[in-house]
Structure 1
Amino acid sequence: MEQAKKETISTLDTGSSRTLADRVCHQLKDDIITGRLSQGSKIVEEDLAREHGVSRGPLREAIRRLEAMHLVQRIPHAGARVVTLSEKMMSDVYSVREALEGMSTRLAAEFIKPKEVDELWLLLEQHEKNIDETEGTVYFQREGDVDFHIRIAQASQNQLLVKSLSSELYQLIRMCRYRTAKAPSRPTKALGEHRQIVDAISRRDGELAEILMRRHISGAWQIARELLLKDYHD
C-alpha cells in the first residue's frame, strides 16, 4: 500500500514537472523568437528560475528542448546562450526553406484536396484581417495549423517534408521570419504572394506553384539579409 502511494506521488510529481517545463519552454521560445531574450545572451538558470517561478529541474528540461529546436546553443566554457542568427546561419536556413518548401508546394498542387484549398483561402482571409488590425505593419503567423507554410507542407502528403518543416527546423525558421514580418510593405506583399501560390495550387499547376514559393522565400531572404546588414552598421 505504502509502495503504491509512493509510486502515485512520484507519477504526479513527474507530470507536474512536465507541465512546468512545457509552460516555461513555451514562454522562453516566444521570448527568443520575438527578441525579448536577445540573441547571444547568456542563459542564467538562477535568474530564469526565479523569473518564471520554477525550480531548476523543469527549467533545465525546457532549456534542453530549446537546444533541440536550435534556439539555444551550448558553447564550451561559456554555457548555454540564445542562438545568434549570423548571416551564414540565416542563409543556410533560407536555402533549405526554399528547396523544401518549393518541393512541398509542387506536391501540394498534385495531392491537395478541394476542401484544403478552400481552407487555405479562408486562412488567408483571416491573415488579411490580422494585417488590417495592425494597419499593415505586421504579418507574423502563429505556429501550427494557422501557419500558411505548414498547411502547404501538410497538403503535400509527404511526412518527411512535414517533419523537416514543422519540427526540426520550424522554430529557427520562425525566428528568421519574425525579422522580416515588420519590414515596410512586406506584410501586404507577402499576403499577395501567398494568394498567387494558392491560386497556382488550386489550378494544379505544380511547376508554377513551386516557382512562386521559391521566389517568395528568396525575396524574404533578401529582406532578412538587408536587415541583418543594417544591424551590423547601426
Structure 2
Amino acid sequence: MPADGQAAPDEATVAHRIFEQLSEAIISGELAAGAKIKEPALAAKFGVSRAPLREAIRRLEERKLLTREPRVSARVTILTPVRVAELYAIREALEGIAAREAALRVQPADIAHLRDLLRQHEAALDATSDDLYRQGTADEDFHFFIIKCSGNASLVQILCDEYYNLIRLVRRQHSRASGRARRALIEHQQLVEALAEGDGDFAEILMRRHVAAALRSILASIATGNGTAA
C-alpha cells in the first residue's frame, strides 16, 4: 500500500502506462529505429517489475512498433520501403472505405469540427517555414476523426488501434518533402467538402488518391534521403 493510503495500480494499468510511454518514445525518435529493448534498464527507468513491462512489450510487438526474432531481444521496427508500401496499401484501401461510410453518417457538427481542425493546421503551416504538416495527438488528427465518423467498429479497431501508431511512426520518420504539406492540406479540404455533400463515392476516391500521393512522396523521399508529410 503506498504511503498516501491509495491502492497500488494493478499490473494491467501499469502495463498500459508503459505501453503508452514506450509508444511515444518510439514515435518521437527517443528510441531509434533498430534500437534494442533492454528490459532491465527499462524496468529500472520506469520503476516497475518485469511482468507489466513484458506485457507492454508484447503489445508493442502486436502493434508492429517492435520486432523480435527467435532468441533475440525485441528491437524498434525499421521501416523499409517495402514495409511502408505494404502499410500504405492497407491504409489506402481501408481509409477509402472509411471515407465512403463517413460521408453517409457525418453530422453537421462533425463537418464543423473537421473544418476547424484544418484552420488550425493551416495556421500552424503559416506560422513556420519548415513545410511540416503537424497533426499532433489523436484528437487533432484529421484522418483519425474521419475513421471515427465512419461508425464502422472494425475499421476503427484496425486503423485507430492496431495500425495508428505505426502510421504515426511513418509520418515522424518521413516528415518533410518540398510542397507536400500544402498539397496535403488542400487534399484534406477537398475531402471535407465531399463529406459535407454526402458524396461517398467521391470521398473514397479522394481519400485513396490522398494516401497514394503520400506514399509516392514517402518513397521518393526515402530514395533521396529526405522525408514527407503523410
TM class by shorter chain equals 0.7 to 0.9
Residues 122-141 of structure 1: pairs in structure 2 closer than 5 A: 122-141=116-135
Percent of matched pairs sharing the same residue: 42
Output the CA distance in 1 between the equivalents of 2:26 and 2:87.
17
Conserved? CA contact 1:136–1:185, under 8 Å? no
Output the CA distance in 1 between the equivalents of 2:137 and 2:107.
22
- 2:194 is matched with which residue? 200
TM-score of the two chains, using structure 2 as the length reference: 0.86
Structure 1 stretch 61-70 or stretch 96-105: which is displaced more? 61-70
Instruction: State yes or no: 1:120 paired with 2:114.
Output: yes
- 2:152 is matched with which residue? 158
The offset of 1:135, in angstroms, is 3.2
Closer, same or farther in 2 for the Cα pair 1:46/1:223, shift >3 Å?
same
What is the aligned-residue RMSD (CA, Å)? 2.4
- Runs of 4 or more consecutive aligned structure 1 residues displaced over 6 Å after TM superposition: none
Q: How many residues align?
A: 223
Conserved? CA contact 2:67–2:75, under 8 Å? yes
- 1:62 is matched with which residue? 56
State the SS of the aligned residue for 2:64.
coil
Output the CA distance in 2 between the equivalents of 1:208 and 1:114.
18
Instruction: State yes or no: 1:86 paired with 2:70.
Output: no
Conserved? CA contact 1:136–1:187, under 8 Å? no
State the SS of the aligned residue for 2:140.
coil
Output the CA distance in 2 between the equivalents of 1:153 and 1:49.
35
Conserved? CA contact 2:101–2:200, under 8 Å? yes
TM-score of the two chains, using structure 1 as the length reference: 0.85
Structure 1 stretch 81-90 or stretch 51-60: which is displaced more? 51-60
Question: Radius of gyration: which is bigger?
Answer: 1
Output the CA distance in 1 between the equivalents of 2:221 and 2:203.
27
Instruction: State yes or no: 1:99 paired with 2:93.
Output: yes
Output the CA distance in 2 between the equivalents of 1:32 and 1:126.
26
Mind listing any 5+ residue stretches in structure 1 that lack a counterpart?
none
The offset of 1:54, in angstroms, is 3.6
- 1:12 is matched with which residue? 7
Structure 1 stretch 142-151 or stretch 214-223: which is displaced more? 142-151
